[in-house]
Structure 1
């Protein structure tokens, strides 16, 4: 097929209705805010029932099934989704640009276009605001897209839907592997507890581990020679994984580097954030030859290896029991919660015998190896899908 002709998006969509829920009778309505869209899966997963009298000021746009939502904030994260049938008539935040295709544009074709690397790159280039990059509805409306005939749009969308389905299955496999590790934790340790065994619950984290903070960004540099070293910030420490694609560097003295240097099996925990993410952390496995950590990251280094296994500790800290402790102890302001070093040191432990902990760790490592293979396969599929998208929107599919 030849190169496709491009059309401006505003000529291919129809306007959506708006309303002010607070000016209506007191009733429930479905509200889709920016957090309702799963950015990885490109699905609306957390729409919530809201009272009109409690409606946020951004709750304005009435959406229909088949509308395509495009988040106008942080376009690099590509928060997009199609409104499903069960949310027909829901209200979307004004943080979304709502795209309702006219008769010349197929919904699935449009959806795949706003997910494409070309569209994302264009929006990132046009975003404004350094700390909170955003685009306007106008910028999205003025973008252009390749537009074949409707039958060809449907054919391209069907091919991309099929490829997308394979990616979704691989992503779901990763989710199931993560759940497997959680199941191992509950099954193995729960069985031990159910058999009437005695748990050692008199220990606090500070009695079996050294808990420390990290280097302060923006501090006054010491009067000594400095060198650049990679350092981990909050964004790099996720739930049971490290995001190391964008690790920054900081100038530090040799003494500071030695003090804050990460060692294998150090447990890294974030100081604060959303309340439901307290206790978020992961083990350091020497992913980089050398690295230190920021002061908003706590480093937990086990000092009583005969009592505590690091893998067990990382799962126990992030368990429901651990999260409940953090929520009880945390200081909370305007939706942000934080813990301090003293609270972390007082974290109460439940420690089965080290042999039980080590058996748990062995089984988790098997699951992690499987996860690594799945992620590698997913990366290959992602690359193939990106190539497929590129060919589709250049008329070469």
Structure 2
């Protein structure tokens, strides 16, 4: 295919658009109208007034710096953002939005304490500028591809809602069902250390991590409310011998208690030998009373659990958790047969989600390739 980019001018971003500053709009002043209010990472509310003219690109300036969002309608970007509407560029806005998302603006942080994007740094980024009609054609092609990705993401979200619906249908009213209330401390395995955090202070230093060995689990393994491998961390076999009491086993439930608090995951059967860090509370259950999948769903979904966390002194999710709070959490115990049925149904949903995620991963890779080719004039 002919490479059209040979006839495209190379320009700096600052030559073709202006990053306008968003305007402060505190939550209390938002009226709840039909105008979307954008923060650095997307829509954060609604208002009855807009400050942009028509379709708008919103770029994160503070916090989620460099993140690119697109509004099809006039909107109100707040003061943690920049924005581009038709008054700030002569290019096709949707094409420019796709171009910005591929420029790596998220890597241009210049603020030490709070991540921030300096627009002069952004303006220096170089790109190829196709004619306006070609910009529109590229935007249409990428829109069609993005629509497919969006439908896959929506299907995954619907499966999440399905899990919630199954849980509420089966376990929504413990009083009506006459189930006994206990505490987390009463349903753990009778062995010592069934509720534990990881090693503190000098017990485990960052400098002691090695390239391979015994895995070390942290917040990133539970932050999605399901177990995922994030950053890989290891300690040596020799170091592990002194930290064996922090070993994590298949079926353990891990809860984040520092940083992003209140996230929860079940450790899979495929876990290698591993320990958890001090950022996690690890629970080994008495599975003759409570199954891991039930506790996981209860912690995240049931009103009793959510109300308990919000009413406890340190229970607000952003304020932090500790083992005492988790041990004292009330929990009703349905018959084990019901818990097993729930686990079986959730596992079926999880298999569907895994298939959709694999498909989405392939679509993401194809989209990235398509985007790369589009901006090189190879479509």
TM-score by length of 2: 0.83
Any conservation in 1 of the 2:227–2:268 contact (CA below 8 Å)? no
CA shift for structure 1 position 332: 7.2
CA 1:215–1:280 in structure 2 vs 1: closer, same or farther (change >3 Å)?
same
Residue of 19, 43, 46 corresponding to 2:44: 46
Residues in 1 aligned to 2:333 and 2:15: alpha-carbon distance in whole angstroms? 64
Matched, 1:64 2:62: no
Matched, 1:230 2:215: yes
Matched, 1:83 2:71: yes
Moved more, 281-290 or 376-385: 281-290
* Aligned pairs (5 A) from 1:1-397: 1-3=3-5, 4-14=8-18, 16=20, 32=37, 34=39, 37=41, 44-48=42-46, 62-73=51-62, 79-85=67-73, 87-88=74-75, 90-93=76-79, 95-100=80-85, 102=88, 104-116=90-102, 119-120=103-104, 123-124=106-107, 126-128=108-110, 133-190=115-172, 193=174, 196-201=176-181, 203-209=182-188, 210-216=194-200, 219=203, 229-250=214-235, 253-273=239-259, 279-302=262-285, 304-319=286-301, 320-331=303-314, 336-397=318-379
Residues in 2 aligned to 1:134 and 1:311: alpha-carbon distance in whole angstroms? 40
Residues in 2 aligned to 1:208 and 1:255: alpha-carbon distance in whole angstroms? 28
Any conservation in 1 of the 2:254–2:266 contact (CA below 8 Å)? yes
Any conservation in 2 of the 1:330–1:338 contact (CA below 8 Å)? no
CA shift for structure 1 position 306: 1.2
Residues in 1 aligned to 2:159 and 2:250: alpha-carbon distance in whole angstroms? 24
Any conservation in 1 of the 2:128–2:376 contact (CA below 8 Å)? yes
User: Which stretches in structure 1 are left out of the alignment for 5+ residues?
Assistant: 38-43, 51-60
C-alpha distance after superposition, 1:254-309 (max 9, x if no partner) = 334411121001101011456xxx5321101045423211112100110x211111
User: Which stretches in structure 2 are left out of the alignment for 5+ residues?
Assistant: 189-193
CA 1:383–1:16 in structure 2 vs 1: closer, same or farther (change >3 Å)?
closer
Any conservation in 2 of the 1:330–1:339 contact (CA below 8 Å)? no
CA 1:287–1:99 in structure 2 vs 1: closer, same or farther (change >3 Å)?
farther
DSSP 3-state at the match of 2:133? helix
Question: How many correspondences in the alignment?
Answer: 359
Any conservation in 2 of the 1:298–1:341 contact (CA below 8 Å)? yes
DSSP 3-state at the match of 1:292? strand
CA 1:142–1:66 in structure 2 vs 1: closer, same or farther (change >3 Å)?
farther
Residues in 2 aligned to 1:18 and 1:280: alpha-carbon distance in whole angstroms? 32
CA 1:18–1:245 in structure 2 vs 1: closer, same or farther (change >3 Å)?
closer
CA 1:198–1:17 in structure 2 vs 1: closer, same or farther (change >3 Å)?
closer
Residues in 2 aligned to 1:325 and 1:351: alpha-carbon distance in whole angstroms? 16
The aligned residue for residue 191 of structure 2 is none
CA shift for structure 1 position 344: 0.8
